Structure 1
Amino acid sequence: MTAAPQTATDPTSRTPRALTDVRPTVSPERLLEDLVPPRHFADARFSTYRANPAYPSQSSTLARLEEVARQIAAPPATGLRALLGRRPAPPAVYMDGGFGVGKTHLLTSLTHAVREELGSGAAAYGTFVEYTNLVGALGFMPTVEALATRRLVCIDEFELDDPGDTVLMSRLLRELADRGVALAATSNTLPEALGEGRFAAEDFLREIQALAARFEVLRVDGEDYRHRAVVTDSEPLPAEVVAATVAARDGATLDAFDDLLAHLATVHPSRYGALLDGVELVGLTGVRTVTRQEVALRLVVLVDRLYDRDVPVMLAGAGEKHLFTEEMLRGGYRKKYYRALSRLGALAEDGRRLAGQTADA
């Protein structure tokens, strides 16, 4: 059974609300407003990026992106200079590197730099999935028209595992580049490739075809700065501990895992962020292995939104270790699944710490 929702008329109630009780409605304006760096990287700036001197490509990429930010922010040519000169092509950069070398930190730093110089509406930031979901919610041309008003569009974790989505994103980027929008993207690299020097630039340039010549590839070498394992295995908690911790905290939710999976099927993935409005902790009971691909992919999107917002998760049941089948982890979407396991494991560790604090209170 799903926990009863917390009522608005009783703000002192400790009965936890449930995500399954939330039916988010999101306007097109809200979808576009949400294309900002996630809370997890709210403080990321060029000045806070610590380039490893053992890998010179990190400092050279940092310097190049600072130059790109200045180029985007520079005022357009006017007068005779504008009439005589050709309009320069907007910059388009692609950061290619392994797991945990700071590509997202650099990409969000670029976004922040442009927004701070030109205003909050000058740059859009989102993951590959967020942009494909935006097209699904708004339609292709309305998405183009909305994003064409930005000076910079950043795409984190460009994914190459779905041919249809890759073609869609390639077309979207071409439309934006033709309208003078600067572009920046990062690769999506398998966690299992950590330390193997695997890069995806050739795959990326092949898939974007007509745009390949416009993109400048910035290779970011290095080791995973967190020195983390491929996946953080967080041991599951007893269901009664999850329920007690959730009940003791404002902004916490409690759901049965199967109920939540069923609910996600009724909510467009572009609204998963709104599903988490005001949520500070998510408790799930009866966690088990997901065996259907479409269900697993919806869960991946939810995990990404939880991670963006730094929302701790408490898991009762099987935990995240056996969340996806071995077939899924070997299949075409394995990048998504490994990323979700890594992120959910970290969030579950945060949840375990909260459970310990509640027990000590």
Structure 2
Amino acid sequence: MSPSSSAAGPGSTPIAGADPLSLCAREPHVPADRLVAEMVPPPRFDSVRFGTYVPDPDQPSQHEAVRVLEEFATGLGTDPGASGGRRGFLGFGRSRAPKTPAGPRGVYLDGGYGVGKTHLLASLWHATPAEPSRKAFGTFVELTNLVGALGFQQTVRTLSGHRLLCIDEFELDDPGDTVLVSSLLARLVEAGVALAATSNTLPGKLGEGRFAAVDFLREIQGLSAHFRTLRIDGEDYRHRGLPEAPAPHTDEQVTQAARATAGASLDDFGALLDHLARVHPSRYGALTDDLAAVCLTGVRPVPDQSTALRLVVLADRLYDREVPVLASGLPFDQLFGEDMLKGGYRKKYFRAISRLTALARDAAHLVEAP
């Protein structure tokens, strides 16, 4: 089956003569060891540092967050296991790690989308004086996927020797997963692991950030005392002082650009949404491996919430990997209906719009000017 023939789902029209790659033709399988090895800042944040974060001069909380996080990273330079011997199995037993020092052993970055929380979280990972193998960075979804692949006890064993665990986009909308990860973090804190996190708001909570801190500290239950909350105010930096997102292109322009760009994929948008339902979200990163660009024809409103949430995960993985997105059809700010943008997942949808808009701007050069 050729990529062009597999790119169209039921009821859609294949893109005739398409030679590029197709996301719909990919069904990646990701082994557990890859999930562990990839718990590092994604390519977009591989080179970020505190020094490359540009605080908004009108938002003093951004300057303060950098200062506090730099101090937190410096404080992690003392290995709690240095004077206490090796940890026992899972951090328990006679050779158990020393008790966690007094004071917060975690930081929570509270703020709306686009204020640079992930940039700061990745900068903390880079600034922490420990070998990369003793630091972990991942989204909440990636962490739950790791538990699913390794099992709870093995995940504790794998991460308990770390100095720092950074969790981006801690999900507060799934009670079961929240309890699971809260239990995991309790075991890791007892083993001496420092924590840092950002989160999304709960369904039905319309606040962009201040509700999130209260929700986060409540949902992690007994771990609240270990976290210091850092409020980061500001507007979405992706649109701060930048031009509007480029208007969608024609199907012909997108198809020609895909054919002219080595490593680009070309898919009908509706067919891609159908395909995402058949691929576990933990594999969306692998779905985008080695892509130079994603080209989509016929972008239209997302039909339902389940599909919308899958698209959010794909948008996050594309953004992490800096993969430009060239599209025809409707502009990305019309992807989600008004009911979605007013609902409990609105923060995720606005983040997806923001990130896809940035990627569309990155893709503008793929279409040559007349």
Q: Which TM class, normalised by the smaller chain length? A: 0.7 to 0.9
Residue in structure 1 matched with residue 281 of structure 2 by the alignment: 269
1:101 aligns with 2:106: no
Asked if the contact 1:231/1:341 (under 8 Å) is kept, the reply is: no
* 1:72-91 mapped onto 2 (5 Å cutoff): 72-76=76-80, 77-78=82-83, 87-88=100-101, 91=105
Task: Please give the root-mean-square deviation of Cα atoms over the aligned residues, in Å.
Answer: 3.2
1:321 aligns with 2:325: no
Residue in structure 1 matched with residue 47 of structure 2 by the alignment: 43
Residue in structure 1 matched with residue 25 of structure 2 by the alignment: 21
Give the direction of change, closer, same or farther, for the CA distance of 1:130–1:354 in structure 2 (3 Å limit): same
Deviation sequence 1:250-306 (CA, Å, 0-9, x none) = 110001122212222222111111111110100111222221222221111111000
Shift of the alpha carbon at 1:86?
5.1
Residue in structure 1 matched with residue 92 of structure 2 by the alignment: none
Asked if the contact 2:238/2:354 (under 8 Å) is kept, the reply is: no
Partners of 1:122 and 1:202 lie apart in 2 by 30
* 1:1-361 mapped onto 2 (5 Å cutoff): 3=4, 15-52=19-56, 54-76=58-80, 77-78=82-83, 87-88=100-101, 91-114=105-128, 117-188=129-200, 198=210, 200-228=212-240, 234-355=246-367, 357=368, 359=369
Gaps of 5+ in 2: 7-16, 86-94
Give the direction of change, closer, same or farther, for the CA distance of 1:318–1:72 in structure 2 (3 Å limit): same
Gaps of 5+ in 1: 6-12
More displaced stretch, 39-48 vs 25-34 = 39-48
SS of residue paired to 1:58: helix
Query: What one-letter code is carried by the residue in structure 2 that aligns with 1:340?
Result: A
Deviation sequence 1:172-192 (CA, Å, 0-9, x none) = 2222212221100124379xx
Partners of 1:22 and 1:333 lie apart in 2 by 28
Partners of 1:79 and 1:186 lie apart in 2 by 31
Identity %: 57
Asked if the contact 1:231/1:345 (under 8 Å) is kept, the reply is: no
Shift of the alpha carbon at 1:165?
2.9
Asked if the contact 1:14/1:249 (under 8 Å) is kept, the reply is: no
Give the direction of change, closer, same or farther, for the CA distance of 1:118–1:86 in structure 2 (3 Å limit): closer
TM-score by length of 1: 0.84
Query: What one-letter code is carried by the residue in structure 2 that aligns with 1:39?
Result: P
More displaced stretch, 104-113 vs 258-267 = 258-267
Shift of the alpha carbon at 1:224?
4.2
Q: How many residues of Structure 1 are paired with residues of Structure 2 in the alignment? A: 345
SS of residue paired to 2:230: strand
More displaced stretch, 166-175 vs 23-32 = 166-175
Query: What one-letter code is carried by the residue in structure 2 that aligns with 1:111?
Result: W
Asked if the contact 1:4/1:15 (under 8 Å) is kept, the reply is: no
Give the direction of change, closer, same or farther, for the CA distance of 1:207–1:138 in structure 2 (3 Å limit): same
Residue in structure 2 matched with residue 10 of structure 1 by the alignment: none
Partners of 1:302 and 1:343 lie apart in 2 by 11
TM-score by length of 2: 0.82
Deviation sequence 1:114-172 (CA, Å, 0-9, x none) = 2xx32211211112222233334443333333222321110122232333333233222
Shift of the alpha carbon at 1:56?
3.9
